[in-house]
Amino acid sequence: MNRILFSIATLSFLIISCSKKSSNTNTDFDAFKNRFIEAYWNIYPTSATSVGFHKFDSLLPAYDAVQRQKEITFSKTYLDSLYKFSANDLNDLNKIDYAMIENALQSIQFYVDTFKSWQWDPSGYNVAGAFADIVNANNIDSVSKYHFILERLNQVSKYYDAAKINIQNPTEVHTLLAIEQSEGTVSYLENDLKKFCGKFEIDDQLMPSDTLIFNAVAKIEEFKLYLKELKFDKQKDFRIGKELYERKFYFDMQSSFTAEEIYQKALNRKSELHTELFSLSRKLWSNYFQESIPSDSLKAIRMMIDKVSLTHAHRDSFMQEIEKQIPQLSAFVKEKNLLFLDPSKPIKVRRTPAYMDGVAGASINAPGPYDKNAETFYNVSTLEKKTSEQAESYLREYNHYILQILNIHEAIPGHYAQLVYANKAPSMIKTIFGNNAMIEGWAVYGEKMMLENGYEKSDEMQLMYDKWHLRSVCNTILDYCVHVKNWEEKTALNLLMNEAFQQEAEARGKWRRVSVSQVQLCCYFTGFSEIYALREELKKKSNFDLKKFHEQFLSYGSAPVKNIKQIMLK
């Protein structure tokens, strides 16, 4: 309670201090941003921990009515302070920060008062991350970690009591997910956390960590049992419906298009891709098959894709293959004059460290905003632990062609290059509230742009690219149709397997993902569509230069494309 009073007092002090107008608006605005960020972390201490800001690591707020009111008050107060500035007086980078802060603050009210997943999604209540993020932090010492953990453990009981009060008519899928995840949380506390805490000598002043962990686990078990006993007679649909979907899309994507517009674009793109895929299959057919091509175009495409997928790396040289491709991608980007790549920031490929090696694959591992000295890596998992059957299936999926597209997406000129540019325009706001549609959209745009410029030009490459791109397109169609048009699992699987040529396991995984999340699956195609449309618009100008366009676009950091567009079209 003391903390709440304290923060309200802090807030009113801030309002007074930033209502005084001074001559240097950008300096004032920078100061406002710093106060906003710190106040934001005070309200969301576990999110703060997850990005490496540890000032509030001792807090684990129960999501009760008091906390919700605290969020609403924070949102309203800071919107008032924000509106004391006029976006027109700010420089371009601050203009974008202004829009992003406004969106973040308005989102708070939407999620608390309208979306209300805190009532129907029990999987939102999980303390594993609140502890794991402290344990894994690399910018605080172990003794501080230990004390923060003990303080958070003390609040677990209140946390789950509030959760039980909040839950009303939850959906069955989210309840099942919560039960499953709470098993993982119990296991984390009983094993990893206990092991970490066991390294410290018992402090007489504090309750021993074993007891605290024991109590916390008992509380999670109680919560799990409560969820298991819930009846789902008046089962709430996990589908959120058109109205909420459009609102969530607006806040999460920050797109200049509506969800429905993006959905229509995706439908058109899908049919273009099918036409192109069939024509490529016809062209390639006689090189790969003796028999004549089936008249069913989707069947023919599927057969062609399966055949071309057989060209792939050997399991033992998968990682070397990726390492070999990176300099080739850089050389191509340079030769074709597509984007300046800073030679002082070369990409570092490494084996995925064991502690983060879950699913095999490749991904960019970027340090958090408060972890400035940490390096960015391209993590690649080896296939050592896979059976020969699993490895073969994986290698076919990431075949010779798709593997190159994956490297374009993750590394050059995709995520890695984007990150290097984003770091040159340092903005805490853009790092903390980085727009996923822009980030994923850039990587997806990069794939197409490389092929447009003749990278690895062949019909096989184009075929595989189209298949890969169909995944982003169909993610959007799937997400929209399930949530807005009430699609059932069968219809969804048909889209993914027969029209997007996915394997059954992948398709079933996607169905699960779409039933527990909303909008997120749209970010790839939404961002891509916006960036592409912006480029085509700018191309109409006589002095258009592709390299300059890319560099200017990336210079604004991980900001929503619609805000970058406003500045670039000015």
* Size of site (CB under 5 A) for Zn ion: 2
Contact 403, 325 (CB under 8 A): yes
Give the range of 61-69, 205-213, 440-448, 471-479 binding Zn ion by CB under 5 A: 440-448
Q: How far apart are CA 485 and CA 267, in angstroms?
A: 14
CB of 514 to Zn ion, least distance (A): 18
Binding of residue 443 to Zn ion (CB under 5 A): yes
Nearer to Zn ion, 311 or 458 (CB): 311
Report in angstroms how near the CB of residue 490 gets to Zn ion at its nearest: 29
Q: What would the DSSP string read from start to end of 238-299?
A: S--HHHHHHHHHHHHH--SS-HHHHHHHHHHHHHHHHHHHHHHHHHHHHHH-SSPPPSSHHH
d(CA 216, CA 378): 36
- Determine how β-strand 377-380 pairs with β-strand 362-365: antiparallel
**Beta carbon of residue 569, minimum distance to Zn ion (angstroms, whole number):** 26
User: Which residue, 443 or 478, is less far from Zn ion as judged by CB?
Assistant: 443
Taking CB positions, which residue lies at the least distance from Zn ion?
443
Query: Shortest gap between Cβ of 279 and Zn ion (angstroms)?
Result: 27
- Binding part of the chain for Zn ion, among 79-87, 102-110, 439-447, 482-490 by CB under 5 A, reads 439-447
- Nearer Cβ to Zn ion (105/443): 443
Choose one: 124-132, 177-185, 331-339, 438-446; the region binding Zn ion (CB under 5 A).
Answer: 438-446
Examine residue 522 and tell whether it contacts Zn ion (CB under 5 A).
Answer: no
The Cα–Cα gap between 259 and 267 comes to: 12
> Between residues 175 and 558, which has the closer beta carbon with respect to Zn ion?
558
Query: How far is it, in rounded angstroms, from Cα 557 to Cα 438?
Result: 9
Nearer to Zn ion, 440 or 460 (CB): 440
CB of 364 or CB of 429, closer to Zn ion: 364
Task: For residue 340, give the nearest of 533, 527, 545 by alpha carbon.
Answer: 545
**Smallest distance from the beta carbon of 344 to Zn ion, in angstroms?**
24
Region of 61-69, 123-131, 337-345, 432-440 interacting with Zn ion (CB under 5 A): 432-440
Q: Do 362 and 322 form a contact (C-beta atoms < 8 A)?
A: yes
- Shortest spacing between CB 409 and Zn ion, in angstroms: 6
Q: Would you mind telling me the total number of residues written for the chain in this entry?
A: 570
Is residue 226 exposed (0-12), middle (13-18) or buried (19+ Cβ within 10 Å)? middle
In the beta sheet, which residues pair with residue 378?
349, 364
Strand (E) or helix (H) holding 365: strand 362-365
Q: Which is nearer to Zn ion, 164 or 314 (CB)?
A: 314
411 lies in the site for Zn ion, by CB under 5 A: no
Which residues here bind Zn ion, judged by CB under 5 A?
Answer: 440, 443
